[in-house]
Structure 1
Amino acid sequence: MLLKDKVAVIYGAGGAIGGAVGGRFAREGAKVYLTGRRLETVRAVADKISSHGGFADAALVDALDEAAVEAHIASVAEKAGRIDISFNAITAVPQPGTQGIPIAELPVDSFLAPINLYMRSQFLTARAAARRMSKAGSGVILMNTPEPARIGAALVGGMGPAWAAMEALSRNLSAELGPSGVRSIVLRSTGMPETQTIDVVFGLHAKALGITPQQFQGFVEGMTHRKRFTSVAEVAEFAAFLASDKASAMTGTVANLTGGLIVD
């Protein structure tokens, strides 16, 4: 098992990405502490993991709440003895009003909304993990961004800058924490049709372009070398590898899982 006896904290675990990563980590032997703003959804993921013989704990944690994040991770560290992996998969930005609108027509608050939300949450959870990991001399902080973090994309408003800022934060974390044995990596993927919000996103962009959501999806998929989007399962599989000791040389970088949409 890649992650035998590792302790992982996952934020946004009730979503498709967070839930899939939690499940993959557990199958690789990790003890997973799942959090989210809707406890019943997180518990459903934990119950599924437990039914397959894995260890999963569910907790109500708003990843934008500094006190809640600190209290939860302190509790996990006390119970489990350490924090080996932190993965923040939150996608709580409301797309209507923030995407599908030309920048020249976008209200300033709508532009800043995703930047403020993503950066606050990623900073709070990464900082909480970094404090414990640096003292222990090991650990991995993971984030996930889509392709607009790197390429210029129309009608994404502040989303692209927010995702790019996440990647910059990860690099800075690596530079500061690397000497203490802590790694920081971003998984950059495509949009994923399995996620709960993708239909809304495709719909907003399609409407702005005067095409159907299916046409928009086909257009973007056609830009990849494989002619299909990255799947949630593929992201979860690679997240487990990156979190493992087999990826010990990787830090301060972005793992390109865009299927050729972005060519490094």
Structure 2
Amino acid sequence: MRLKDRVAIITGAGQGIGRAYAFAFAREGAQVVVADLNEAKAKAVAEEVVAAGGRAIAVTVDVSDRHSVQAMVDATVTAFGTVHVLVNNAAVFATLTMKPFEEISVEEWDRVLAVNSRGTFLCCQAVAPVMRANKYGRIVNISSSVVQTGRAHYAHYVASKGAVWALTHALATELGTDGITVNSISPHGIVTEVPRGTITDDQWAGILADQALKRKGEVSDMVGATLFLASDDSKYMTGQTLGVDAGLRYT
């Protein structure tokens, strides 16, 4: 019960890794806000969490929109009284088509950065006053190993996650005096139920060859690290980016 009576907002929690976070946080005693752009998926996950004995509500949110994000935080405070934990999990990823950077349109670039970078910024900005009032907070941002590998044909995604990594360091400095920690996770090779057409079998073989652990990542591999950063187990850590990457070789 590492998160007993804590209130946690998890964005992008309607499926995949975010859904796993919702269940794991509830099992650890948190009151969970399942936030997602897809209202039906958010409600379904929240109902499943409640049916399993947890406490959860569903909130529809577009993280790229300031008013929508503020409404999410307001709904959380109305339901549970405060916010202790924010997991910035929502991102544009699985639907992206890999292409040379010259072929990425301005519209596609803006869409990816609006969700992945601006969305993280807006969510942090919206919860900060509540956390500052509490003199306590745990913010966990999700970056990516591609920031270090510079994966080709993914320039918009790499740039968006690089911004998340940098923002984590900046906010850790600004929020630390109020007892708020800000850390990020850099995952690699995590497979979810969400279809992805960006990696072929041959590419997977090459990826696994560069890993110390010779297997694909599972959703459960992300849960432990995220719970660690969301709980008081990591209370003396901030401004850090934790690699959950199977020992990926970056050089």
Partner of 1:164: 162
Of 57-66 and 72-81, deviating more is 72-81
- Of the three residues 197, 200, 204, the one matched with 2:197 is 200
Pair 1:153-2:140 in alignment: no
Q: How does 1:64-75 map to 2 (within 5 A)?
A: 64-75=64-75
Corresponding residue number in structure 2 for 1:48:
48
| Distance in 2 (alpha carbons) for counterparts of 1:82 and 1:242 | 19
RMSD (CA atoms): 1.9
Instruction: Check whether the contact 1:17–1:195 (CA below 8 A) recurs between aligned residues.
Output: no
Structure 1 position 217 matched with structure 2 position 204: yes
Structure 1 residues 187, 94: CA separation in 2 closer, same or farther (over 3 Å shift)?
A: closer
Q: Quick one: structure 1 residues 161 and 12, their matched pair in 2 at CA, closer, same or farther if it must change by over 3 Å?
A: same
- Alignment counterpart, residue 244 of structure 1, candidates 231, 234, 240: 231
Which residue identity does 1:145 align to in structure 2? Answer: S
Match of 1:228 among 215, 220, 226: 215
Q: CA deviation at 1:216?
A: 1.3
Q: How does 1:1-16 map to 2 (within 5 A)?
A: 1-16=1-16
Structure 1 residue 112 displacement after superposition: 4.2
Matches within 5 A, 1:32-43: 32-43=32-43
CA contact (8 A) 2:10 2:22 kept: yes
SS of the counterpart of 1:158?
A: helix
Report whether the alignment pairs 1:101 with 2:99: yes
Distance 2:167 2:249 in 1: 20
Equivalent position of 1:122 in the other structure: 120
Alignment-mate amino acid for residue 84 of structure 1: H
User: Displacement of 1:195 after TM fit?
Assistant: 4.6
| C-alpha distance in structure 2 between counterparts of 1:131 and 1:263, whole Å | 38
The CA deviation at 1:82 is 1.6
Q: For residues 107 and 71 of structure 2, what CA distance do their matches in structure 1 show?
A: 30
Q: Which amino acid aligns with 2:197?
A: V
TM-score by length of 1: 0.89
Tell me the number of residue pairs that the alignment of Structure 1 and Structure 2 aligns. 251
CA positional deviation for 1:175: 0.5
Which of residues 131, 136, 139 in structure 2 aligns to 1:138?
136
Which stretch shows the higher mean deviation, 232-241 or 172-181? Answer: 232-241
Paired position in structure 2 for 1:81 = 81
- Please report how far the alpha carbon of residue 115 of structure 1 lies from its aligned counterpart in structure 2 after TM superposition: 2.2
* Secondary structure class of the residue paired with 1:125: helix
Alpha-carbon deviations, 1:4-36, whole Å to 9, x = none? 111001111112011111111001010001111
1:147 maps to a residue whose letter is S
Q: Which residue of 2 aligns with 1:208?
A: none
Query: Matched residues in 1 for 2:44 and 2:112: separation?
Result: 27
Distance in 2 of aligned mates of 1:246 and 1:263: 28
Gaps of 5+ in 2: none
Counterpart in the other structure of 2:240:
253
**What is the CA-CA distance between 1:105 and the residue it aligns to?**
4.0
- After superposition, give the CA deviation of every residue in 1:144-181 in whole Å (9 maximum; x if it has no partner): 12210222221112111110110101111100000110
Secondary structure at the aligned position of 1:83 is classed as coil
Residue identity in the other structure for 2:31:
K
Q: Is the CA contact 2:145–2:243 (under 8 Å) kept in the aligned structure 1? A: no
* SS of alignment partner, residue 3 of structure 1: coil
What is the alpha-carbon distance in structure 2 between the residues aligned to residue 256 and residue 17 of structure 1?
Answer: 16
- Structure-2 change in CA distance of 1:71 and 1:106 (3 Å): closer
TM-score, scaled relative to structure 2:
0.93
Q: In structure 1, what residue type is equivalent to 2:55?
A: F
* SS of alignment partner, residue 183 of structure 1: strand
Q: How many Å separate the matches in 2 of 1:47 and 1:196?
A: 20
- Does residue 179 of structure 1 match 2:177? yes
Q: Distance in 2 between matches of 1:39 and 1:107?
A: 29
Residue of structure 2 equivalent to 1:206: none
